[in-house]
Chains A and B, each alone.
Chain A
Amino acid sequence: MSEGTATIRTRKFMTNRLLCRKQMVVDVLHPGKATLQKTEIREKLARMYKTTPDLIFCFGFRTQFGGGKSTGFALVYDTLDYAKKFEPKFRLARQGLYEKPVRPGRKQRKEKKNRVKKVRGTKKASVGNPKKAAA
């Protein structure tokens, strides 16, 4: 038993037509081993529901006290477009479907705002970072 593969069971399965997905609670039984990786769980679920693993988003896995069993959630989308539309950005980022736009730090943003405040009209757009250049 300790060398067998883990077992996945789904509970509370629901087809959410409004969000074009199927959502379920996932129970993973893995006696003698550590909690399964999310990628592995996604692959197993893909086999179960006959889709590709990139349409499956799973999260919230908590292992029960003592080990051997963990419970989490999984969403299986109909298409990737719907997934990109409805899924929160951080979960997309976990799977590499979204890159967070890198922006200047908080302090920079606030300083820029204050500089922009001083100027009126179309000159606001060309504020840039003159102070930094000057300093």
Chain B
Amino acid sequence: MDGDLEKATALLQDIQAKCQDSTNHVNDLCKRAVAWEFNTSKGISFLEVKYQMLLSYLVNLTYLMLRKAGGQSIHGDETVLRLVEIRTVLEKMRPIDQKLKYQVDKVVRLAATGGAASDDPMRFKANPDSLESKLASDSEEGSDSEDDDDQSSKLYKPPKLAAVHYDGDETVLEKKQKQVESQRKRALSSAILQDLKEQYHDGPTEIREAKDMHRLKATKMMMEKERYEEDNFMRLPMSKKERQNQKQLAGMSSLNSVTYFGSFNPLDLEEGGGEGFSNKRRKMDKSKGKSKKGGKKKGFKKKRRH
């Protein structure tokens, strides 16, 4: 009990001393403020609002503390409402403050250093003058000379260099990997896998019409034939001429690479794609034996060897 009493008296004396100090300090500031030392008219008005709000908040808070210290209740006091209002405003100001942070920092730095440094990255902004076309000035100067010059300067000259992908930095390994990747991508997007994807896809099926300009008629006839065959559950016989036409369509004009639907080796995870298939012809599976679209006589299989 005695110890507590001693502590209490010490604290009270402490409070008294500190109060004295703070009143002195505040009086000093007031004198200086009255003497217009702190002129904020040229400052950022947003910040002025902020500290005025803070000030009024403090004032209201001290009033409440005073009343409480005097033993009076603060229930239903207007001061509380005022405090709440000021608090809300301050909360709303916080995100704006964050957004302004960069600007404020810049201004402060400017004020502190007294001027921008020479290697300040802020100085490297775009120079709109240099974006102006020089041709206009040229043609104006050359108007005295012959007409040919004038016309030639207006003539569009394409650049002599075309941009090409630079692959000198790629190692052989990287090239191989890229090749494997592209093969995998091609295998994944092959027609067969697209069919499978469509089968398990929940959404509606898309039917895209790809019109090959060179074979419009042939394609149309083929589509008609397919439709007829499927509707009537039969296979139409092909005459020799038709067979030869189809051979021609599918053979010469569509090169090997186009009709090579590929093995699915790139998708094999264990093998890792194997060696790169640089020469597709070489890798064409002989045992597969390419069969023609339709037009196949029973028991007669023509195997293409490449």
Decide if B291 touches A63 in the complex (CB within 8 Å). yes
User: Counting CB contacts under 8 A, is B290 at the interface?
Assistant: yes
User: Counting CB contacts under 8 A, is A1 at the interface?
Assistant: yes
Contacts of A69 in B (CB 8 A): 191-192, 195
Count B interface residues, CB 8 Å. Answer: 30
Give the interface segment out of B133-141, B167-175, B255-263. Answer: B255-263
* Interface footprint category on A: 20 to 34
In the complex with contacts A32-B263, A67-B261, A68-B261, A25-B230 CB distance below 8 A: yes
Contacts of B289 in A (CB 8 A): 34
Contacts of B162 in A (CB 8 A): none
Q: Closest CB-CB distance, B232 to chain A, in whole Å?
A: 10
Decide if B264 touches A65 in the complex (CB within 8 Å). no
Q: Closest CB-CB distance, A7 to chain B, in whole Å?
A: 7
Decide if A2 touches B263 in the complex (CB within 8 Å). yes
Q: Closest CB-CB distance, A41 to chain B, in whole Å?
A: 16
User: Counting CB contacts under 8 A, is A76 at the interface?
Assistant: no
Decide if B290 touches A66 in the complex (CB within 8 Å). yes
Decide if B265 touches A2 in the complex (CB within 8 Å). yes
Contacts of B190 in A (CB 8 A): 31, 68
Give the interface segment out of B85-93, B123-131, B292-300. Answer: B292-300
Contacts of A25 in B (CB 8 A): 230
Decide if A67 touches B291 in the complex (CB within 8 Å). yes
Q: Residues of B at under 8 Å CB distance from A?
A: 190-193, 195-196, 199, 229-231, 233-235, 250, 259-261, 263-265, 267-268, 288-294, 296
**Shortest beta-carbon contacts, A-B, top 3:** A66-B261, A1-B264, A65-B293
